[in-house]
Amino acid sequence: MLPGNDIVTDLPYFSQRFIYEINMDKRRCFVNYGQISDILGDEPWLKSEVHFLCNLSSERSVMLHLGSKRKEKIQQIYHLSRNDLVTVAYHGNLFQLATIHCVNKVDKTARIKWDVSRKIDTVDICDLTPYSIGKLSTRKRKGPDFFADNGDTVGSVKKLKLITQYSESKKVAEKEMKYFSHDNQSKLCAEGAIKNILHEINMSEEDIEGFWNLATSPLNITARHLNCEIPKGVCNAFQQVNSIQKCCWILRAKFRFTTTIKLKLSYFSSGRKCIDIFRLFQFPLVVAVHSQGAIYDHVIVIWNGNVYDYESKYVYQLTEDVIHQICGGNTAFCYISTGYGLFPPSDVRALSPHVLDWGDKSYFEKNSKIRKFFTHK
């Protein structure tokens, strides 16, 4: 317990000496230091600053996030390749196993899929170590079901059910994005994703750079260049700019694109539903994703079953795993917060003769089956 005035001769172990109050999203619990280090890792600063705060004032608090701490530490870099099973340092001591999806030798990073949560994350290569089967684990291993005693005879073997699963690694596209920013410190995910889709439909470099310059310029300069008033949806009364609305406005006014009305958000409350509906759209769709644990909504473009994400170097196929952690590691998909479809003009479509159907008819026809997924305004 917390230190008191009584003389204590037999102190408990250091990991059990202090009790902490942990406030989570929907509940509160009390844990000791050993339980915290199991989740966050045995960090030296936890043994100093955190205990120092605990002794001085019980009213002070420290906010911690999984994997949020980054260290500069020289380590041996192993030869790693795709589908290797590795352990990840500095992300806690309980769930360290992951599988490599791809390795970026230029940035010295790797895309991994966690063995427990099945989420995809980007980590430094120096934090990865090849996993050895003979390596001792801090957790007790449980015997496989097919060697368990069923009560009749010792060592009887249960019938093993063979479950064939589609390999997740085959779902990841290897096509590289021309424009991407791993950090994206300026929060240009909407502008960057649309810039990539303009490149995908073979627009000229001059037009792409013209869009980018307008999208990243202040509103008054953009409006002056387009020679039109700023639409109400682009900027609200508090001078907050809607980046998706701004990009759609530029595409309509400058490049003669047509955009759909807003998505009807009640249909997009789960990842599985979103994927099924997105596959019905043959036109590019720019959407904002709201995830639990993320500060900002993240904007991506979805087209032909692929995800164009400005913060990713690669184009990924739209899968449930991908959409559930679009906003990054340690986040969980909640819902689509907004979205609009894009229809290029005829001269732009002529640049992509391989695209036979842009989805105009399925959207604009009188008895359209997909119009119910859009609002009536």
How far from 93 is each of 30, 34, 67, 138, CA to CA, in Å?
Answer: 19, 11, 11, 9
Which of residues 64, 83, 99 is at a domain's end?
A: 64
Give the model's pLDDT for residue 215: 94
Residue 278 structural domain: 189-373
Q: Label residue 153 exposed, middle or buried (CB < 10 Å: 0-12, 13-18, 19+).
A: exposed
In a domain, 242, yes or no: yes
For residue 218, what are the contacts with CB-CB under 8 A and spacing of at least 6? Answer: none
Query: Are 28 and 119 contained in the same domain?
Result: no
Which CATH number belongs to the domain containing residue 100 in this structure?
2.30.30.140
For 201, 240, 247, 259, 304, the CA distances from 355, given in Å and listed in that order, are 9, 37, 23, 18, 10
Distances 129 to 57, 91, 123, 377 between C-alpha atoms, Å? 39, 13, 12, 54
180 lies in a domain? Answer: no
User: Does one domain contain both 129 and 155?
Assistant: yes
- Domain-embedded: residue 16: yes
Q: What is the pLDDT of residues 68-102, one digit of tens each?
A: 444 444 445 557 778 888 888 777 655 678 888 88
Residues 199 and 315 in one domain: yes
The tens digit of pLDDT for each residue in 223-262 reads 999 999 999 889 888 778 899 999 999 999 999 999 999 9
Q: Which of 64, 84, 117 is the endpoint of a domain? A: 64
Residues 289 and 324 in one domain: yes
Positive/negative CA dihedral, 298, 301, 305, 307? negative
User: What's the pLDDT at 116?
Assistant: 72
Residue 181 falls within a domain, yes or no?
no
Low-confidence ranges of the chain (pLDDT < 70): 1-17, 25-26, 37-78, 92-95, 132-174, 329, 377
Same domain, 114 and 102: yes
Asked whether residue 215 falls in the same domain as residue 303, the answer is: yes
The per-residue pLDDT for 106 is: 83
Position 184 in a domain: no
**Helix intervals (H) in 279-359:** 320-324, 346-349
Looking at residue 226, its pLDDT comes to: 93
- Decide if 163 is inside a domain: yes
Same-domain pairing of 234 and 360: yes
Reading the block at residue 213, the tokens are: 């310059």
Q: Are residues 193 and 159 in the same domain?
A: no
Closest by CA position to 200, among listed 111, 275, 304: 304
pTM: 0.57
25 and 80: one domain?
Answer: no
Provide the pLDDT for residue 1. 41
Same domain, 322 and 245: yes
194 and 314: one domain? yes
**E-strand stretches of 14-164:** 19-23, 28-32, 85-88, 97-104, 109-114, 120-124, 128-130
At which of 18, 46, 64 does a domain end? 64
Q: Are residue 75 and residue 209 in the same domain, yes or no?
A: no
Contact assessment for residue 299 and residue 193, using Cβ atoms and an 8 Å cutoff: yes
- Show the tokens assigned to 201: 């439909």
Q: Into how many domains does the chain fold?
A: 3
CB 117, CB 127: distance < 8 Å: no
Kindly state whether residue 56 falls inside one of the protein's structural domains.
yes
Q: What's the residue count for the chain?
A: 377
108 located within any domain: yes
